[in-house]
Structure 1
Amino acid sequence: MKWQNAIRDFQLFLKIERGLSKNTIDSYTRDLEKLMSFLEENEINHTPTTIDEESIQQFIYEVAKKVNPRSQARIISGLRSFFDYLIFEDYRETNPTDLIEAPKIGRKLPDTLSEDEINALISAIDLSHPQGERNRTILETLYSCGLRVSELITLKISDLFFEEGFVRVIGKGNKQRFVPIHYAAQKYISSYIKDIRTHITPQKGFEDTVFLNRRGKGLTRQMIFIILKNLSLEIDLKKKISPHTLRHSFATHLLKNGADLRAIQQMLGHESITTTEVYVHLDKSYLKEVVETYHPRK
């Protein structure tokens, strides 16, 4: 079995059977290609069905010199999934990564912005610029709904259910959820569609896409990152931020203001409550307030 064939079949398995996103599949693929390159460079003649624990261990040791422990752990996890797939398809009987331990990593707390910092970012947008109104609407939407950047750039006009106060979001693994949207964000989206987007001719395939660039195509993830980076420089923000920072801030601010953790889990589209629980660790005062409010010995 050749590496290229095994990787291609694995990609189809991840997409069809596990329903993973393109970004996740690309990440798995890059790690497997790194393993392929390592074997070629070191003239190690192993196929996916013959590679052993020693060769995998050498590869991990080489990788460890170049990446942080979190990335090492991700690579080991991806390789483990690949060889589990080969076992599932009866190409192998054992997984050469079973005895390889991933590095211990602490739980990484997400970066967040204060309400004042978010207001400052939005206020820094130049509304006289042709894309100013669009960019303000993007930030308001990210913060109002806690969307992933991939969910924002694929948001459709047909996904907007403003009369009911919801937007339909297609999240990881093509899973659908309905997220409440604040009336202020509704107002900005409606205004953008009516006053700005209507003057752009959508290219084929983007007729239903909410946010468009000047050429009528959908925005890329990189464009959203650049918009935020430029705004953070504008207000001299010392934090390193990304679109995900607004998602984290959305969840953290809801929690601090008394929202139920299960409700936040549903809005974020987290499969497990343990993923959402990271926000509890951001503000220990939340736990103190819970005890003071709900404990019977008040």
Structure 2
Amino acid sequence: MTWEQAVTDFSLFLKIERGLAENTITGYTLDIEKLIHFLNAKSLSVSPVNIDTEVVAQFIYETAKTVNPRTQSRIISGLRSFFNYLIFENYRSTNPLDLIETPKIGRKLPDTLSVQDIDRLINAINVNKFYNGVQIGERDRTMLETLYSCGLRVSELIALKLSDLFFKEGFIKVTGKGNKERFVPISPVTQTYITNYIKTVRPSIKIQKDYKDTLFLNNRGKQLTRAMIFTIIKALAVKINLNKTISPHTFRHSFATHLLENGANLRAIQLMLGHESITTTEIYVHLDNTQLQKAIQTYHPRK
């Protein structure tokens, strides 16, 4: 079995059997390609079937010189999954990563924005801005309102469809990681923004055939890219002199944190964010001692 064949088969397995998103699959394959590049650079002629722990450990050691522990941990995890797949398919009997320890990393607390900072960013949008006849300012405001008020991932935002809107019931349908669907509550305010965008902005766009149902469109009538959302947010941060490095995910972190601070329970936040594990939600909302003390004082019978 060649490396090329193994990577192709593994990618199909991740897509078809595990239902992972394209970006996740790309991350896995890039890490395997780093190992392949290392083998080529060292002129090591080993296949995915016969590579051993010693060679993989050498690769991990060399990689550790140029990446942080979190990235190193991700690479080890990805390679371990790859070789477990080869075992599952009976190409190998052992995993060369079994004896390689993952570096210890602390919990990375996400950056968040205050409600005031969120307001400043959104208010900085020039809603009267047009590009090629399309009122992109109104579109951008609606997108950021939706991103924050629903706690969406950027991939979920750009994939939203008109058919995903259930305003009468007060929900939108979101397709998350692994094509898993969930229903997320949407506020009347955000519904108003979206309705206005649909009525006033979308009619001015020449929508391409495959994107008739896509909610947020670029001026060419196609789905927006993740990079475009990043660009919009970073430009707004510069505009208001916000001295923080932010991204679309910062809005998601802030959504979860603000809900928690205002009394929402962790389980409800987990469902809205679409997390399989409550542990992941705890990282997003980064419970601190103040919040824990408040919980004890409010809910414990012997407070």
TM-score (norm 1): 0.98
Tell me the equivalent position of 2:255: 250
**For 1:133, which of 112, 134, 138 is the aligned residue?**
138
The whole-number CA distance in structure 2 between the counterparts of 1:27 and 1:171 is 17
Q: Cα offset for 1:282?
A: 4.4
Tell me the equivalent position of 1:198: 203
The whole-number CA distance in structure 1 between the counterparts of 2:231 and 2:54 is 42
Unaligned residue ranges in structure 2 (runs of 5+): 131-135
Q: Cα offset for 1:295?
A: 1.1
Counterpart of 1:87, as a letter, is I
The whole-number CA distance in structure 1 between the counterparts of 2:231 and 2:298 is 42
Cα deviation digits, residues 117-176 of structure 1 (max 9, x gap): 000000110112121100000110001100000000000000000010000000000001
Q: Cα offset for 1:281?
A: 2.9
**For 2:273, which of 268, 272, 278 is the aligned residue?**
268
Moved more, 63-72 or 226-235: 63-72
Q: Cα offset for 1:249?
A: 0.3
Tell me the equivalent position of 1:67: 67
Cα deviation digits, residues 192-229 of structure 1 (max 9, x gap): 01000111011121110000000001100000000000
- Contact 1:35-1:59 within 8 A present in 2 as well: yes
- Contact 2:110-2:250 within 8 A present in 1 as well: yes
Tell me the equivalent position of 1:240: 245
Q: Cα offset for 1:62?
A: 1.3
Counterpart of 1:154, as a letter, is A
Question: In the TM superposition, what are the counterparts of 1:214-225 in structure 2 within 5 Å?
Answer: 214-225=219-230
Tell me the equivalent position of 2:218: 213
Counterpart of 2:127, as a letter, is L
The whole-number CA distance in structure 2 between the counterparts of 1:22 and 1:127 is 33
- Contact 1:202-1:216 within 8 A present in 2 as well: yes
Cα deviation digits, residues 53-107 of structure 1 (max 9, x gap): 1110111111111111100000000000000000000000000000001111001
1:171 aligns with 2:176: yes
In structure 1, the residue corresponding to 2:172 is in which secondary structure?
strand
In structure 2, the residue corresponding to 1:33 is in which secondary structure?
helix
1:89 aligns with 2:94: no
- Contact 1:144-1:185 within 8 A present in 2 as well: yes
The whole-number CA distance in structure 1 between the counterparts of 2:185 and 2:105 is 34
- Contact 1:109-1:282 within 8 A present in 2 as well: no
Unaligned residue ranges in structure 1 (runs of 5+): none
The whole-number CA distance in structure 1 between the counterparts of 2:287 and 2:237 is 22
The whole-number CA distance in structure 2 between the counterparts of 1:279 and 1:26 is 24
Q: Cα offset for 1:284?
A: 2.7
The whole-number CA distance in structure 1 between the counterparts of 2:25 and 2:79 is 12
What is the RMSD computed on CA atoms of the aligned residues?
A: 0.8
Counterpart of 2:144, as a letter, is L
- Contact 2:174-2:181 within 8 A present in 1 as well: yes
Moved more, 145-154 or 57-66: 57-66
TM-score (norm 2): 0.97
1:107 aligns with 2:107: yes
Q: Which runs of 4+ in 1 moved over 2 A?
A: 279-284
Aligned residues: 298
Q: Cα offset for 1:279?
A: 4.1
The whole-number CA distance in structure 1 between the counterparts of 2:273 and 2:174 is 10
The whole-number CA distance in structure 1 between the counterparts of 2:285 and 2:166 is 31
In structure 2, the residue corresponding to 1:48 is in which secondary structure?
coil
Tell me the equivalent position of 2:133: none
Counterpart of 1:9, as a letter, is D
- Contact 1:87-1:94 within 8 A present in 2 as well: yes
The whole-number CA distance in structure 1 between the counterparts of 2:16 and 2:291 is 41
The whole-number CA distance in structure 1 between the counterparts of 2:221 and 2:286 is 42
Tell me the equivalent position of 2:76: 76
Q: Cα offset for 1:283?
A: 3.6
Q: Cα offset for 1:280?
A: 4.8
In structure 1, the residue corresponding to 2:286 is in which secondary structure?
helix
- Contact 1:280-1:286 within 8 A present in 2 as well: no
Distance 1:280 1:146, change over 3 A: closer
Question: In the TM superposition, what are the counterparts of 1:30-41 in structure 2 within 5 Å?
Answer: 30-41=30-41
- Contact 1:125-1:132 within 8 A present in 2 as well: yes
The whole-number CA distance in structure 1 between the counterparts of 2:284 and 2:63 is 31
- Contact 1:280-1:287 within 8 A present in 2 as well: no
1:3 aligns with 2:3: yes
Tell me the equivalent position of 1:42: 42
Cα deviation digits, residues 19-58 of structure 1 (max 9, x gap): 1111100000000111111101110010000101111011
Counterpart of 1:59, as a letter, is F
- Contact 2:124-2:240 within 8 A present in 1 as well: yes
